[in-house]
Structure 1
Amino acid sequence: MGLKILPGRDGGTRPTWYARFTRRGRKVDINLGVPIRGTIPTRPDEWGIKRVDLSRKGDAAFEQSRAQALAELERMKVEVRTTGDAREVKNAKDALQAARYYRARTGQSVKGVRLGDLAELWIKQKRSYTPSAIWTKAVATWFARFAAFAAKYASEHGGRCETVDEITPGIATAWFDALRTSFTWETVTKQMSLLRNAYARYAVNKDERNPFADIVMRNRETANARKPHRPLAGVELERLFDATRDNAALYPLIVTAACTGMRIGDVCNLKWEDVDLGGGIIDCTTAKAGVRASIPIIGRLREVLTAASAIDADGKAPSPFVFPRAAERYRTNPTGVYREAKPYFARAVFVQEEPGDALEADAKAPPPLEGVIGQANFADAKRARLLEEYRLFKSGTASAHIAARLGVSRAQVSMDLAEIERLTGESLRPVASLRPDRKSNRDLLAQTREKREVGRRAASLYGWHSLRATFVVLATEAGVPLADIARIVGHTTTDMTMEYFNPEKKHAAERVRRQMRGTALDAPAPTETITQGDATPVDALVASLTVEERKELARRLLGL
């Protein structure tokens, strides 16, 4: 590294001293901010033009300014070495450039952001929303783990890494390799994205390439390693519709997701401005990729949207969202939205409907909690607490969060939920089934997950995203062109859409049965003989029975 005088635009020289060095094969000049004084020494070239020659000695004023420039150069070197900021000390040229960059813009000595302070700085950033406690804790944990790893890795390789600018591509790659051996790809992506953005925001040397930018997060190998959500067969989808039909909050979301292939976040946040009921189309932008999706409104979906528009029209203050309650829940507690639907998916896939199930469910329908608590001899405070705990739990809020919100212990919440179960007879929490031929929610939910080869948590095989895969499979089997399906689900390429086309044996069997229906190989349909007048519909008969008669009918049908 040495001093240099650069030519100016007017044919003369620039008024200040510069230092030159080579970084990654590219020459870089740094302005030292020291004015050039006196007469600059020169020498004539072969054409007689005077050129600056710093190997010669100038007059007293020039030599004095040269000495000041050298002193400034050394001072900045020492500053970088003693503070340990900007870049690794062994690369003094890069450190000098970073120090000069920072000083030129702030007027202060360079002081890089320490890795130990990243979490606090990142969490305290101004945002349009208030981060949740869970997110804050996760971010603090991720930054702390990376800081400890970076310090250890740098020490083992003869260096150090205490600030953001000291992160090297080697450290970033080693951390990426460590993450993907222990965590799922979703977690790896979140952590690497967080570190990449933190480096871009807090690095002093903005000219240095982001060490996290060149890491390829997805390739064919990693994409194939993912556990795709499995699509539902037609009969399973019908069971899901039937099971949720009486759930006014869940049924519209399930129908919309199944009929559009939209992600659950896009379904919950769907706005009326994107819906054209008259034209029969939904034209919205996906939240994940920002791609415009054009979705036709088909049978079941039209019924749901028409019903939602009627509800919205009756409201005093119409919401911009098609499903206002779902939009609010997804904003405040997205996990609750996933959790509420999970048991319905499990039963739709793994439980075959048994005779009398619907009757027994009607017979054992729990009474309203408000009425039961009103009859109990509870203090007003306890009555209000039980009602609020019940509301929060049914909305998908975890017991720990209920306890924190109400200011009680988790043990108290558990006892209160047990009290509610005793009063109403409703099973709120997964317990072992009292019948050996029935599976509990806990057993069913376990079947919807599969252990990953890499990752601490099991992969979800059935859930909201299964409806996206179901739409792709059913639309493909119905003969819809792949390009149209990609446009509907918001994919930029058909290759991406084909990743969702994952039919299983049950889909093939269902398709064969449908296509073979009516052939010579198909069993003849049973003939029905009515011996007495007009038959009364079964639903009407069941509706005319009392609760006790329904219980007796259910017991007889089940052979109990």
Structure 2
Amino acid sequence: MPLELRKDSGWWYGRASVNGKALCKNLSVKIAGNRPKKLSLQGDMTFERSRAKAQAELEKWQLELKRRTTAEELIQTVHEIRTGERIQSIALADAFARWLALPRRRQPSSRYVDQAKSWMTRFVAYLKSNYPSAREMDDVHSNMARTFFSDEQKRGIAPKTYNNILIFLRSSFGALQKDAGMAENPFAGLPTLEEDTVFRKPFSAEELADIADAAKTDPFIHPIIITGMCTAMRRGDCCLLQWESVDLEARFIMVKTSKTGELVQIPIFAQLHEVLTQAQKDRQEKNEKSPYVFPEQADKYQNNPDLITDRVRRVLREVGFSGEDGDGTSEKGCVNQKRKVGLRKASVRDFHSFRVSWVTLALTAGVPLEIVQKVTGHRTASIVMTHYFQPGREEFRKTLSGKLPEAISGQSEKPAPVVISLDEIRAELLAMKLKTWKTIRDGLVAKIPEPTPAAKPPAGKKPMLTVKAVEKDAAG
């Protein structure tokens, strides 16, 4: 009999078979009256009434399944006529492997692959527990997707995590929709949540100097921290930097970022040059054949990325950064902050803060946004300005007071002259393009002090040679 009673449930269940696949469903009819020992036996009148209701619901479900099967067969027939092949489905257990094997312009990072695998595994486990009849991708419907994300919200995950999972499942099911024979993407109609974004906080120039000094006591993490400070590169890009991307003679790094694949151009300043020169010397002494600038750190990062974060946190604690916002345990500032919603605390000071610091200090100093994007690899200015430009209140005030007229700022003294290094001038000149040269030129001119009126040289000293004088002397 297709009707079913369960000892641990007060509801009627129905069974059906479609294309050789056994299906079971709660018919949403409560069992009433006194249950007989077997369904083949007759119960009391109340029980038999509930049995009749359940039978009616079962027949409706069977008719719906029949209509669906007929529609699917029609689709199969049309598909066979057009392509010569039947539509194949994909088992949910194989969904992640099929997604990973999809052709791509650029392969995802190992860290994202691990995250994606955990998200898909969690969703499949949820279906197995709550919808055991769903075994293939085309068995998944929008109501299953909605209930999954409803339960995820009840579990207390942060909106950002919610959105990341939704975007992945939506895109993976969309990419496999045709191969899985799905009529629609079950995640297509689900909206993302508004995120409670917690921005990382930048370090000041003085704090960066203290961190660099403290890092010297840890030879393992010191070169990675200096590289992050001076290049604005992400943690993985610093650890996996290769010699083929480094031009010590020209003092430039040119590398594709692991996250976006954008080619970035980064000048090598004195502090980083010292670290890279030492790394090159160590490589020669050890006869190292690894392509990585920091082979030991690259190996550790590939096996356990969080080890790098832990070593950085250790240095930050030594400088005075620790604890959680508001707990009163930090000397300088917190490293974590509670979220309004979410299972994990937000990190506000970590390795990525070096990237935020670089962008904030550069833009505050007047470096053109185009130059900053050349270094960071961000495709849009809005990302830079929203997520990375995070000046502190005091720096914000000083910058504005130095730029705004006296009528607004109330300061009559002239701002201190801007010091610009030859390395910075060279970097900006090399970054010039047809569309940006005027902006870069104007930025450089604004940083160079006005020439003082020509003065007569002191008695007993020869005047400085000018270009015309040298040319005249050479011609003579």
The bucket for the TM-score relative to the shorter chain is 0.5 to 0.7
Identical residues among aligned pairs (%): 26
Normalized against structure 2, the TM-score is what?
A: 0.59
After superposition, what is the alpha-carbon deviation per residue over 1:213-251, rounded to whole angstroms, capped at 9, x for unaligned? 665658xx43xx221110011111111011101321111
Instruction: Give 5+ residue unaligned stretches, structure 1.
Output: 1-77, 153-159, 352-429, 431-438, 523-560
Is the contact made by 1:80 and 1:95 (CA closer than 8 Å) also made in structure 2?
no
In structure 2, give the amino acid aligned to 1:502. Q
Following superposition, the deviation at residue 207 of structure 1 comes to: 6.5
In structure 2, give the amino acid aligned to 1:507. E
Say whether residues 1:246 and 2:217 are aligned partners.
Answer: yes
Say whether residues 1:498 and 2:385 are aligned partners.
Answer: yes
Quote the residue 1:480 is aligned against: 367
Is the contact made by 1:452 and 1:459 (CA closer than 8 Å) also made in structure 2?
yes
Further displaced range: 292-301 or 164-173: 164-173
1:91 equivalent among 68, 74, 96: 68
1:319 equivalent among 271, 280, 290: 290
Tell me, in whole angstroms, the C-alpha distance in 2 between the residues paired with 1:120 and 1:506: 49
Say whether residues 1:188 and 2:188 are aligned partners.
Answer: no
In structure 2, give the amino acid aligned to 1:475. A
Quote the residue 2:186 is aligned against: 211
Tell me, in whole angstroms, the C-alpha distance in 2 between the residues paired with 1:180 and 1:488: 38
The 1:455/1:467 distance shift into structure 2, 3 A limit, reads: same
In structure 2, give the amino acid aligned to 1:490. G
Following superposition, the deviation at residue 257 of structure 1 comes to: 0.7
Q: How does 1:167-186 map to 2 (within 5 A)?
A: 167-173=140-146, 175-176=148-149, 178-179=151-152, 182-185=156-159
Tell me, in whole angstroms, the C-alpha distance in 2 between the residues paired with 1:193 and 1:149: 23
Q: How does 1:137-286 map to 2 (within 5 A)?
A: 138=118, 142-147=122-127, 151=131, 161-173=134-146, 175-176=148-149, 178-179=151-152, 182-185=156-159, 187-192=161-166, 195-196=169-170, 199=173, 200-201=175-176, 205-206=180-181, 208-212=183-187, 221-222=194-195, 225-286=196-257
Is the contact made by 1:346 and 1:462 (CA closer than 8 Å) also made in structure 2?
no
Instruction: Give 5+ residue unaligned stretches, structure 2.
Output: 1-16, 25-63, 404-412, 417-476
1:304 equivalent among 259, 262, 275: 275
After superposition, what is the alpha-carbon deviation per residue over 1:48-98, rounded to whole angstroms, capped at 9, x for unaligned? xxxxxxxxxxxxxxxxxxxxxxxxxxxxxx85485669xx93534552256
Quote the residue 1:471 is aligned against: 358
**What secondary structure sits across from 1:262 in the alignment?**
coil
Say whether residues 1:447 and 2:422 are aligned partners.
Answer: no
Normalized against structure 1, the TM-score is what?
A: 0.51
**What secondary structure sits across from 1:503 in the alignment?**
coil
Following superposition, the deviation at residue 167 of structure 1 comes to: 2.1
The 1:112/1:512 distance shift into structure 2, 3 A limit, reads: closer
Tell me, in whole angstroms, the C-alpha distance in 2 between the residues paired with 1:267 and 1:169: 42
**What secondary structure sits across from 1:447 in the alignment?**
coil
Quote the residue 2:6 is aligned against: none
Q: How does 1:513-552 map to 2 (within 5 A)?
A: none
**What secondary structure sits across from 2:253 in the alignment?**
strand
In structure 2, give the amino acid aligned to 1:317. E
After superposition, what is the alpha-carbon deviation per residue over 1:268-291, rounded to whole angstroms, capped at 9, x for unaligned? 111111111122211111111111
**What secondary structure sits across from 1:258 in the alignment?**
helix
Is the contact made by 1:149 and 1:175 (CA closer than 8 Å) also made in structure 2?
no
- Shift >6 Å, 4+ stretches: 101-111, 119-132, 134-137, 443-446, 509-515, 519-522
Quote the residue 1:44 is aligned against: none
Is the contact made by 2:123 and 2:148 (CA closer than 8 Å) also made in structure 1?
no
Tell me, in whole angstroms, the C-alpha distance in 1 between the residues paired with 2:134 and 2:218: 55
The 1:445/1:184 distance shift into structure 2, 3 A limit, reads: farther
